[in-house]
Each structure stands twice: as structure tokens, then as C-alpha cells.
């Protein structure tokens, strides 16, 4: 019988009139990698900061490794590794010195060289931290979180701002942590990242849990559904009864479980009415689309927040 | 057979599986002070303004012996160097503690370093104590260098019987200014605001400390006499003068410095901020605008 690494029940956090977290509950078992997935402003960072002890929840109960994080117990902090979304290190110190300094605060630190090796900073270990690239800086953040030999790691948007190859490298690194037996809670707004790294995903939006499960459980209810999209010339309107709805870009979409029958009905109508179904596509929705549907957003959003920062 | 434990597995039901030993708090503070000292020495701008700048002015003033009225006239008839050296030591002590700490601690706060430290088992006060410790080391080293320069090149006499009073005075002054320096960070809203605000404080301290007492209205002189650098100068200068009787401890001025130190300490305890301040407002407004955008949809 093991105690969960993280257990939160109905937590909320409000700042005056602004509600950052409305109602979030989930549990993370020891050794599990859980991704908190959601768009910016969903309450991911606030939730993780409550777990880290940086903020106090307005309501609900929180347990981290059996501790109340708001009390900021030193015993608890010795077993946590935290990568904040945005924090720097002393640019005058080298990565080796930074890691050694952080290590000296813990009762049971990992050897400095081993940590540098693990995050791949050995070759730049004696360079001033201020001269590291963004990706190297982020790996140093991870090194500082790992040097205390934590049981539980918090990674707040560990790959935001990375180029695709740096993201792949970071993914490899984080999934290696899983093999070290660490419990990991990470936040992300990328579905593919959550799917690649996490054993389980909690989708939150507007401060509430929308869905929870393994990647395949999340996709499960949608896998037997197929999307048919097409365009119509000018003023032509498709038939009712097939569940057709128009998208923001003017094209039409049908979601159906009975692909063959629906397609048959649609094409018969088109032949009868003598209209062309332009750009006719029949396919399963991608994970990204399922996620975006879940959080109530449409894919062609040019000012998508995930692209910023 | 009893249940065998998996090696390395957690035992969450036992009262916290602690491996290793906690580093002792004094060890942590000394260690932090050493890292901060290293950071200080690798930062040319900080080293210049704290060490080189007051030294150059000190030497320049001793070389040219500028006339004009200032507060140091009170300590005539002793030689100019004998009065100016302790006054500059007082100024350097303030620069190494009040000014340097206000700058450094603000920078570490705004970079999110304090915030990151809060997430570690290092007692957060030990981290700030490391900053203070390193600034005290710099302050004492600077005092020593100035004393040596004054003695070797400008014929300043060391009044050996007054040395204990001098050491005590510098200790009290440095501690008070260190507390005020850390307290001042609460009023500094961002990294870019740190230089102008700390410079303004330095100017106020200098003006009040060296104001020519005879030329200003009595009320102005009285207000000026409240400021801490003035008390440090008034406490330290007599410890360099041949006419001072041993032990030469200026209890009144040390008491005033101690009160300033306590004010600083209260400011630290009640006002110190661990979170970056410049970012906090931005993040909050971003959150708000996001919310209103969602609301409209």
C-alpha cells in the first residue's frame, strides 16, 4: 500500500475577481509521469506552483509526498526537484559551480559530474552560465532540479521556446528520468509532448479538469469517429439530416460513426444536385484536433499561444 | 519470511525516509558567502563601483586636500588626512554593504534566483545571509586597504589605543547598513530601477553626512544629523584622532546606528520580497486579458 506522490482534491485559487484555478483534482502515483495539458492561462502553472509551495490554494486539499506543500517543510523540499517556467542562474558562475552550490544544500546530493553528464553539459561545464545557449540554460535548470536526488520532479513547460530538434533532445532526457524511477509532473500545451512523455494526461482549461486518462484513453471515444470535410461552390447549401456544419474557413464538416452510409448519402445528394464536392477528405481526427476540440479551440488559430513566448 | 524491501524504493508510511545528513546552517552560510564573493569578483562593474571607485576618490582627495567647509571641520585641529581617512572608510563601508546589497539582492530577486532557492531545502535566510556575509568581507577588506594606503602614503597615524573602538564602530556600522541594504530592496521595483534608486540613497547619505553644519539652518542640520552615515562618520573619526581619550567609543552614535540597524531588520522581516516584482504585474495582466478574451468567445 503506497501513498500517492501527489494528491489534490478540489483545489481553487482566486486573485480578487480573477479565478486562476476553479476546481482541479487529480492523483499522481509514485513512479508515474503525469502531464498537465492545457492552453496558456488554463491554470497549469498556478496548479504546479501550489504543489511546489510557491502559492497557497484558496480552497481544497493538497498533499505532496504526504506533506502539505504550503508549509514548505524542509524535509519535503529535500525530495523535490523543480524546474520553474522562467528563472535564471547566476551568470557569473559556471554550470559546474551552480550544480555544486545547489548540491551542497541537500542531505543526499548526486555527484556533480554525474548530473552534468546526465543533462549533457559536460563539454560546457566550465563556461560562464551567462554564455550558455537557451537550450543549454534549460538543461542547467534541469541539472539544478536533479542534483538533490529528488523523488518527485516538477517541470513547468520544459520545452517552451525550443526549436524542434532541441525539443526532441529534451524529450529524450525527460523520458530517461522515468527510467530512473522518478515521479514526474510536467505541464505543457503540446499534445504531442504529453503523448510522448506521459503515462497519464490531465487536460485542464479555464481552471477545470476537462479529461483525464492515458493517451489512448483520451483518444479512445474519438477513434471510431471519422471526419468528412469538403467545400461547396458559392451559395450551394448541403442537405440537412447528415449533421453537416460549416467551419470558420467556409468548408463543411460531418462527424460520423457510419462512414460508408454517410458518405453514400452525401455523394448521392451531390450527384442528384449536380454539385462538385471539392477537397473531399475522409479521415480520423488527429490527437491534436481531439485536444483542441476538448479545450474548445479550433485548429486554424494564427495567434495560437503555443507558438508564442 | 517477512516482506523484503525493494532497494531504493520509497517507504512513504515511515516518517520521511531521510538519506544522508543535513549540512549545518553555519556551514551553509559560510559556503553561500564564498559563492557570493566569487560572483562579486567576477562582476567587473560591481567590483569597480564598490572597491576601485571609493579608493580612487579617497586617494584623490588626500592628494589634493580640497579646502571648503564641510562637516569634518568639527574635528580640527587634527591633520586633514587624519580626519578624511576614517570618513572615507565610513563611506566605503556603506558602499560595500548598503549600496552593493541593495543592487545584488534586487538582481537575484528579479532573475528568479530567490524564487528558485525557495524551492530547495536551503533555509532561505541562509541564502540572504550569504549575500550579507560576502558584503561584510568586502567591507572589512576595503577598510583595511584604505587604512594601509593612508598609513603608508599619506602619513596617517594609527592610534593603537583606539583600535578596539574603531573595530567595534565598523562592525556596528556595517551591520546596520547591511540590514538597511537588504531592506531597501523592498522599495526597488525592478532590476533597471536598482541603480538610480541606490544612487539616490547614496547621495542622501553623503549630503547629510558631510553637510557643513555652520552654514545651514538649524532644523536642516538637525534632520541631517539623524542619517546613519553621519553617525558612522562621527563615531569613526574620533577613533583616528590623537586628542581622543581611550577607549574612544562613541556610544551615542553607535546607539543611533543600532537603531538604524533595527529599522533595517524590521524592514527586512516585514517587507522583504522573494518573488520577482517586475514580472509579477505583467503575468497578472496577461492572465486577466486572457480571461476576458475567453469570456467574449
- pLDDT band at B3; cut points 50, 70, 90: very low
Domains in chain A (CATH in brackets) are: 6-220 (3.40.50.300), 226-283 (no CATH)
Q: Is A144 on the interface with B (CB under 8 A)?
A: yes
Which tens digits make up the pLDDT trace of A67-84?
Answer: 999 888 899 999 999 998
Measured in whole angstroms, the distance separating CA B76 from the mean position of its chain's CA atoms is 30
Question: For residue A223, what pLDDT is reported?
Answer: 66
Determine what percent of chain A is predicted with pLDDT higher than 90: 36
Instruction: Compute the nearest-CA separation of B184 from chain A (Å).
Output: 21
Burial code of A85-98, b = ≥16 C-beta within 10 A, e = fewer? bbbbbbbbbbbbbb
Average pLDDT over residues B135-160: 90
Q: Which cell numbers in the block locate residue B267?
A: 524592514
Among A174-183, A232-241, A293-302, B155-164, where is mean pLDDT lowest? A293-302
Residue among B132, B62, B75 at smallest CA distance from B250: B75
Phi, psi at B95, each rounded to 5°: -60, -40
Contact B288 A82 (CB under 8 A): no
* Angle CA A138–A143–A144, to nearest 5: 95
Sequence-distant (≥ 6) Cβ neighbours of residue A208 within 8 angstroms: A22, A23, A24, A43
Residue-wise pLDDT tens digits, A16-50: 888 899 999 999 999 899 999 988 888 888 999 99
Closest CA to B264 of B90, B98, B110: B98
Cell triple for B262: 533595527
Q: How far is CA A171 from CA A34, A188, A192, A198, in A?
A: 14, 12, 11, 10
| Order of strands across the sheet that contains A200-205 | A59-64, A6-15, A18-28, A208-213, A200-205, A33-37, A183-188, A152-156, A80-83
Cβ atoms within 10 Å of A74's Cβ, excluding its own:
14
With 70 as the cut, is the pLDDT of residue B75 above it?
no
- Integer-rounded Cα radius of gyration of chain A: 24
Distance between first and last Cα of chain B: 64
Averaged pLDDT for residues A277-302: 70
pLDDT of residue B296: 39
Mean of pLDDT over chain B:
82
User: What is residue A233's DSSP assignment?
Assistant: -
Closest chain B CA to residue A46: B287
Question: Which grid cell is B252?
Answer: 551615542
Residue of chain A whose Cα is closest to the Cα of B127: A105
Q: Nearest CA of chain B to the CA of A83: how many Å?
A: 8
Nearest to A57 by CA among A46, A73, A45, A72: A46
pLDDT score of B286: 46
CA-closest candidate to residue B184, choices B154, B226, B228? B228
Using a CB-CB cut-off of 8 Å, the residues of chain B touching A107 are: 18-23, 121
**Least confident residue range of B55-59, B157-161, B212-216:** B212-216
Task: Tell me the Ramachandran region of residue A41: left when phi exceeds 0, alpha when psi lies from -120 to 50, beta otherwise.
Answer: left
Most confident of A294-303, B28-37, B38-47, B286-295: B28-37
Residue with cell 538519506: B19
8 A C-beta contact, residue A22 and residue A12: yes
Instruction: Examine the pLDDT at B68 and tell me if it is beyond 90.
Output: no
Q: What is the DSSP string of chain B?
A: -PPPPPTT---TTSS----S-PPPHHHHHHHHHHHHHHHHHT-HHHHIIIIIHHHHHHHHHHHH---S--GGGGGTTS-HHHHHHHHHHHHHHHIIIIIHHHHHHHHHHHTTHHHHHHTSSS-HHHHHHHHHHHHHHHHHHHHHHHHHHHHHHH-PPP-GGGHHHHHHHHHHHHHHHHHHHHHHGGG--STTTHHHHHHHHHHHHHHHHH--GGGS-HHHHHHHTTSHHHHHHHHHGGGG-TTPPTT---HHHHHHHHHHHHHHHHHHHHH---S-HHHHHHHHHHHHHHHHHHHH-
CB contact under 8 A, A84 and B119: yes
- Write the DSSP symbol of residue A157: S
Say how many C-beta atoms besides its own lie within 10 A of residue A227's C-beta.
17
Say whether residue A90 is in contact with chain B using an 8 A CB cutoff. Answer: yes
Distance CA A129, CA A93 (A): 6
> Three cell numbers at B6?
525493494
Report CA dihedral (A179, A180, A185, A189) to the nearest 10 degrees.
Answer: -50
Q: Which chain B positions have a beta carbon within 8 Å of A14's beta carbon?
A: none
Distance CA B244, CA A107 (A): 53
pLDDT per position as a tens digit, B78-108:
677 888 889 899 999 999 999 999 999 999 9
ipTM of the complex: 0.81
- The sign of the dihedral angle between the CA atoms of A230, A231, A233, A234 is positive
Chain B residues whose C-beta sits inside 8 Å of any chain A C-beta:
8, 10, 12-13, 16, 18-23, 28, 31-32, 35, 38-39, 42-43, 108, 111-113, 115-116, 118-123, 279, 284, 286-288, 290-291, 294, 297
| Placement of cell 519535503 in the chain | A76
Hey, what's the cell of B53?
Answer: 571607485
* Backbone phi, psi, residue B11, to 5°: -125, 80
What does the buried/exposed string (b/e) look like for A147-177 if buried means 16 or more CB atoms within 10 Å of the residue's CB? Answer: bbbbbbbbbbbbbbebeeebbebbbebbeeb
Average pLDDT of chain A to the nearest whole number: 85
Alpha-carbon span B237 to B80, nearest angstrom = 11
pLDDT at A296 over 80: no
Q: How confident is the model at residue A299 (pLDDT cuts 50, 70, 90)?
A: very low
What are the backbone angles phi and psi of residue A76, rounded to the nearest 5°?
-70, -45
B72 Cβ contact partners less than 8 Å away, ≥ 6 residues apart: B80, B83, B84, B87, B210, B237
Which of B287, B288, B296 to mutate: most A Cβ within 10 Å?
Answer: B287
**Among A residues 167-226, those touching chain B with beta carbons less than 8 Å apart:** 181, 206
Q: Among B30, B43, B50, which Cα is nearest to B108's?
A: B43
Give how far A49 is from chain B: nearest CA, Å.
10
Amino acid at each position: 500500500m503506497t501513498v500517492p506522490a501527489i494528491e489534490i482534491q478540489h483545489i481553487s485559487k482566486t486573485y480578487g475577481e480573477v479565478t486562476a484555478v476553479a476546481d482541479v483534482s487529480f492523483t499522481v502515483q509514485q513512479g508515474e509521469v503525469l502531464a498537465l495539458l492545457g492552453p496558456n492561462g488554463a491554470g497549469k502553472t498556478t496548479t504546479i506552483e501550489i504543489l511546489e509551495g510557491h502559492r497557497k490554494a484558496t480552497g481544497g486539499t493538497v498533499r505532496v509526498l504526504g506533506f502539505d506543500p504550503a508549509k514548505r517543510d524542509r524535509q519535503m523540499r529535500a525530495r523535490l526537484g523543480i524546474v520553474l517556467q522562467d528563472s535564471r542562474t547566476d551568470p557569473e558562475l559556471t554550470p559546474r559551480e551552480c550544480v555544486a552550490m545547489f548540491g551542497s544544500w541537500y542531505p543526499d546530493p548526486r555527484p556533480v559530474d554525474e548530473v552534468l553528464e546526465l543533462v549533457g553539459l559536460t563539454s560546457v561545464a566550465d563556461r560562464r552560465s551567462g554564455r550558455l545557449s537557451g537550450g543549454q540554460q534549460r538543461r542547467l535548470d534541469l541539472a539544478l532540479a536533479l542534483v538533490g536526488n529528488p523523488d518527485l520532479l516538477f517541470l513547468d513547460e520544459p520545452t517552451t521556446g525550443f526549436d524542434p530538434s532541441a525539443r526532441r533532445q529534451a524529450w529524450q532526457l525527460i523520458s530517461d528520468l522515468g527510467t530512473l524511477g522518478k515521479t514526474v509532473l510536467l505541464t505543457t500545451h503540446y499534445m504531442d509532448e504529453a503523448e510522448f512523455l506521459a503515462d497519464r494526461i490531465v487536460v485542464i482549461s479555464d481552471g477545470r479538469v476537462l479529461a483525464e486518462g492515458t493517451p489512448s484513453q483520451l483518444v479512445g471515444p474519438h477513434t471510431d469517429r471519422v471526419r468528412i470535410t469538403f467545400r461547396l461552390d458559392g451559395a450551394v447549401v448541403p442537405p440537412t439530416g447528415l449533421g453537416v456544419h460549416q467551419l470558420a474557413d467556409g468548408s463543411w464538416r460531418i462527424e460520423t460513426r457510419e462512414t460508408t452510409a454517410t458518405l453514400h448519402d452525401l455523394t448521392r445528394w451531390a450527384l442528384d444536385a449536380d454539385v462538385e464536392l471539392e477537397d473531399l477528405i475522409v479521415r480520423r481526427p488527429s490527437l491534436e484536433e481531439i485536444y483542441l476540440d476538448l479545450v474548445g479551440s479550433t485548429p486554424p488559430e494564427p495567434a495560437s499561444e503555443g507558438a508564442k513566448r | 519470511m517477512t516482506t523484503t524491501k525493494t532497494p531504493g524504493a520509497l517507504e512513504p508510511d515511515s516518517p520521511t525516509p531521510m538519506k544522508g545528513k543535513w549540512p549545518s546552517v553555519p556551514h551553509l552560510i559560510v559556503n553561500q558567502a564564498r559563492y557570493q564573493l566569487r560572483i562579486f569578483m567576477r562582476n567587473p562593474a560591481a567590483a569597480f563601483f564598490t572597491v576601485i571607485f571609493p579608493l580612487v576618490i579617497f586617494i584623490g582627495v588626500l592628494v589634493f586636500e580640497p579646502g571648503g567647509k564641510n562637516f569634518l571641520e568639527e574635528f580640527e585641529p587634527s591633520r586633514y588626512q587624519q580626519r578624511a581617512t576614517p570618513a572615507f572608510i565610513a563611506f566605503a563601508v556603506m558602499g560595500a554593504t548598503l549600496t552593493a546589497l541593495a543592487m545584488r539582492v534586487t538582481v537575484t530577486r528579479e532573475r528568479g534566483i530567490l524564487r528558485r532557492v525557495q524551492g530547495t531545502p536551503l533555509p532561505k535566510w541562509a541564502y540572504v545571509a550569504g549575500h550579507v556575509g560576502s558584503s561584510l568581507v568586502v567591507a572589512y577588506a576595503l577598510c583595511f586597504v584604505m587604512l594601509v594606503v593612508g598609513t603608508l602614503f599619506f602619513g596617517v597615524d594609527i592610534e593603537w589605543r583606539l583600535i578596539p573602538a574603531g573595530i567595534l564602530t565598523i562592525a556596528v556600522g556595517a551591520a546596520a547598513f547591511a540590514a538597511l541594504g537588504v531592506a531597501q530592496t523592498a522599495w526597488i521595483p525592478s532590476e533597471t530601477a536598482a541603480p538610480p534608486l541606490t544612487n539616490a540613497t547614496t547621495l542622501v547619505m553623503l549630503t547629510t553626512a558631510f553637510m557643513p553644519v555652520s552654514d545651514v539652518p538649524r532644523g536642516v542640520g538637525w534632520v541631517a544629523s539623524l542619517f546613519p552615515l553621519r553617525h558612522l562618520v562621527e563615531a569613526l573619526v574620533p577613533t583616528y584622532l590623537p586628542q581622543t581619550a581611550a577607549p574612544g567609543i562613541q556610544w551615542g552614535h553607535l546607539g543611533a546606528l543600532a537603531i538604524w540597524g533595527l529599522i533595517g531588520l524590521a524592514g527586512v522581516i516585514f517587507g522583504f520580497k522573494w518573488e520577482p516584482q517586475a514580472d509579477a504585474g505583467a503575468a497578472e495582466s496577461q492572465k486577466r486579458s486572457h480571461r476576458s478574451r475567453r469570456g467574449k468567445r
